[in-house]
Chain A
């Protein structure tokens, strides 16, 4: 199963990120995770949100350059060695990671590691065979991060 990450092309200058978060806030779209990678004068903002389609529509309407990108969101154990287990599988199978980030679902229990890889299908297959749980857009939207559960 693959999930979708919203990628936004933005110049590296004050106000660009504020514009994005402003629109998403107004649209009541929840951000699960966000990373920014920049290359000098420009960069890409990657967002994992609960409703990527609607986010894309809202951002595009405001003139932003947006692309939905398939990524694999893998559930891992939130404990030492949890990430390593996943990465060793990718490494053994010569999967190259273009971009990655993670967030905790349930402290000391579960975390999600999001990877953008060069061979999507192959990665999904081998993760399934290796017994990893991957999340799609809907299940990702449905997961309740830990703080909701605790409070």
Chain B
């Protein structure tokens, strides 16, 4: 029932001692990095002075901007030749954030991914099909390594190509899939087209849903359509990736592996901690990462800690399904993006006016992004072909930047609604 019974189920007081020991180690390790070394000196903080978990709060919060400004090696706490892997966050403003891992970091990360999967009932003998993009995105390799460690036959299917996915599921008796929830819903329509009933004609037992926030309704829908259990998964590349937090069979919140991370929930405005059980921004600290320890990282994800123990007996507390983001990041088909990215690209293209609007719609089970861009008055020469070329250029440039093909519509100058104060740039019509 447990991958590591002791660390998963030890009494809370004893567990907190383990956590404190890990924290002391992590702060000490972090002080070897140029960023934290400088920071600790600036605030007069002694990395040896952590005596309690509360002492963590003496250290200022770390933000994504800090990661960017110290790109690429400013957070490294080990010599570069200790590193064996890098990952990078998906579609971000400006420079991507890069995370480096030592061999030991990969082992620790792999272990918590395996622990997460094991928790849901996956075992040696299961066949695991990973339908996530492999590459810089952590959802591919992160799950892959975890599944292999667990001992499951692992099919690195990658994303897309629905017919092949279904073929693989059928040919090799896939029992477990890792999939983006919106894609799971789409894939079902392909099952239907092929006249294959996943309930009757496959061995599927469970799905790990990750890559994008989704509602309880979407989960239920996936479970009903496929006749399986669907488990919510949370992670972010700055904290390794998948495996940070995962649902157990009780499916009531995600256990956050507190031997690997310290979780705090803060008020995003005052940055003060909120009372346990209240909603706020999640802040995470790595405890077992050697290559690139990050202390008190602002995830910008809004959630709360579910008070009280879980029936499964694990000592690791649970967080609730992510409610949203503190900023305006958009997640479309599992890809993160900011309206500002689109703005930046649009403004580089001659002929595009100053105002634009992003509309997100759900068509069937697919997310669509419509970008309405005003044409510059002077640009118009009465030629439809010229407009079409402009539209094509915008589509191509956005696609290469955000990796999603938007539907671009050119609109008349000054025709988009202008609001006072902060412009409404995004209209999200997706229901979940």
Q: A69 at the A/B interface (Cβ < 8 Å)?
A: yes
Within 8 A of A (CB), among B364-393: 375, 377, 380-385, 387-388, 391
Interface of A is mostly: strand
Q: How far is the CB of A100 from chain B (nearest CB, A)?
A: 13
Question: 29 A-B contacts, Cβ less than 8 Å apart?
Answer: A5-B382, A7-B383, A9-B410, A10-B412, A11-B409, A11-B411, A11-B412, A11-B415, A37-B384, A38-B384, A39-B387, A40-B409, A41-B410, A41-B411, A42-B410, A43-B384, A44-B383, A44-B384, A44-B387, A46-B382, A63-B414, A65-B375, A65-B380, A65-B413, A68-B382, A69-B381, A69-B382, A98-B383, A99-B384
Question: Which A residues touch B391, using CB under 8 A?
Answer: 39
Knowing A11-B411, A42-B410, A42-B411, the reply to whether A67 touches B380 (Cβ < 8 A) is yes
Q: Which residues of B contact A63 (CB under 8 A)?
A: 414
A133 CB, min distance to chain B CBs, angstroms = 24
Chain B, residues 390-413, CB within 8 Å of chain A (1/0): the string is 010000000000000000011111
User: Which residues of A have CB within 8 Å of B410?
Assistant: 9, 41-42
Known contacts A40-B409, A42-B387, A64-B412, then 12 further A-B pairs from the complex at CB < 8 Å, ordered by chain A residue: A9-B375, A9-B410, A10-B412, A11-B409, A37-B384, A39-B388, A42-B409, A44-B387, A65-B412, A68-B382, A69-B382, A98-B383
Contact A67 B382 (CB under 8 A): yes
Interface size on B, as a range, is 10 to 19
**7 closest Cβ contacts across the A-B interface?**
A7-B382, A69-B382, A67-B382, A41-B409, A44-B384, A9-B380, A42-B410
Instruction: Flag B331-355 by CB within 8 Å of A: 1 or 0 each.
Output: 0000000000000000000000000
Residue with the greatest number of chain A CB neighbours at <10 A, chosen from B383, B384, B387, B415 = B384
Q: Report the nearest B residue to A67, measured CB to CB.
A: B382
CA distance A64 to B413 in the complex (A): 8
Would you call A9 and B387 a contact (CB within 8 A)? yes
CA gap between A98 and B413 in the complex, in Å: 24
Q: How far is the CA of A37 from the CA of B387 in the complex (A)?
A: 12
Min Cβ gap A59→B in Å is: 12
The digit string for A27-54, where 1 denotes a CB below 8 A from any CB of B, is 0000000000111111110100000000
Chain A residues, CB < 8 A from B377: 65
Complex contacts, A39 vs chain B, CB 8 Å: 384, 387-388, 391
Could you say which residues of chain B place their CB within 8 Å of the CB of A69? 381-383
- Contact digits for B171-186, partner A, Cβ 8 Å, 1 yes 0 no: 0000000000000000
Most buried by B among A40, A68, A98: A40
Interface size class of A (residues with CB under 8 A): 20 to 34
Q: In chain A between 115 and 149, which residues have their CB closer than 8 angstroms to a CB of chain B?
A: none
Per-position binary interface string of chain A over residues 64-96, scored 1 when its CB falls under 8 Å from any chain B CB and 0 otherwise: 111111000000000000000000000000000
Question: When chains A and B are docked, how far (Å) is the Cα of A6 from the Cα of B413?
Answer: 17
Contact, CB under 8 Å: B412 / A44 = no
Q: Which residues of B sit under 8 angstroms from A10, Cβ to Cβ?
A: 412
Q: Among the listed B388, B409, B412, which residue makes an inter-chain contact with A9, where contact means beta carbons less than 8 Å apart? A: B412
Q: Which residues of A contact B385 (CB under 8 A)?
A: 98
B427 to chain A, nearest CB (A): 16
Most buried by B among A9, A46, A64: A9
Which residues of chain B are within 8 angstroms of A65 by Cβ–Cβ distance? 375, 377, 380, 412-413
Which residues of chain A are near B383, meaning CB under 8 Å?
Answer: 7, 44, 69, 98
In the docked arrangement, what's the CA distance between A69 and B385, Å? 14
Question: Which interface residue of B381, B382, B414 has the most chain A CB atoms within 10 A?
Answer: B382
CA A48 to CA B178, docked complex, whole Å = 60
B169 to chain A, nearest CB (A): 37
> Which residue on chain A has the smallest CB distance to residue B375?
A9
Q: Which residues of A contact B380 (CB under 8 A)?
A: 7, 9, 65-67
Say yes or no: B409 contacts A44, CB within 8 Å.
Answer: no
Could you tell me if A44 and B382 are in contact, using CB atoms closer than 8 angstroms?
Answer: yes
Known A11-B411, A11-B412; contact A67-B381, beta-carbon cutoff 8 A: yes
Minimum CB distance partner of B381 in chain A: A67
Closest-by-CB residue of B relative to A42 is: B410
Q: Which residue of B lies closest to A69 (CB)?
A: B382
Q: What's the least CB distance linking B56 to chain A, in Å?
A: 53
User: B407 to chain A: closest CB distance in Å?
Assistant: 8
Minimal beta-carbon separation of B305 from chain A (angstroms): 46
- Closest CB of chain A to B373's CB: distance in Å? 10
Chain A contacts of B413 at CB under 8 A?
65
What residues of chain B lie closer than 8 Å to A44, measured between beta carbons? 382-384, 387
| CB-CB nearest in chain B for A7 | B382
Q: Which residues of A contact B375 (CB under 8 A)?
A: 9, 65
Residue in A closest to B353 when the chains form the complex, CB atoms: A65
Complex Cα spacing A146 to B261, Å:
86
Q: Across the interface, which residues of B come within 8 angstroms of A7, CB to CB?
A: 380-383
B357 to chain A, nearest CB (A): 13
* Residues of the A chain whose Cβ atoms lie less than 8 Å from the Cβ of B414: 63
Return B384 CB to nearest CB of chain A, in Å: 5
* B414 → A minimal CB distance (Å): 7
**How far is it, in angstroms, between the C-alpha of A99 and the C-alpha of B383 when the chains are bound?**
9
What's the Cα separation between A41 and B406 when bound, in Å? 14
Give the residue name and chain of the A residue nearest to B376 (CB): A65
Closest chain-A Cβ to B27's Cβ sits at a distance in Å of: 55
Q: How far is the CB of A24 from chain B (nearest CB, A)?
A: 16
Q: Which residues of A contact B384 (CB under 8 A)?
A: 37-39, 43-44, 99
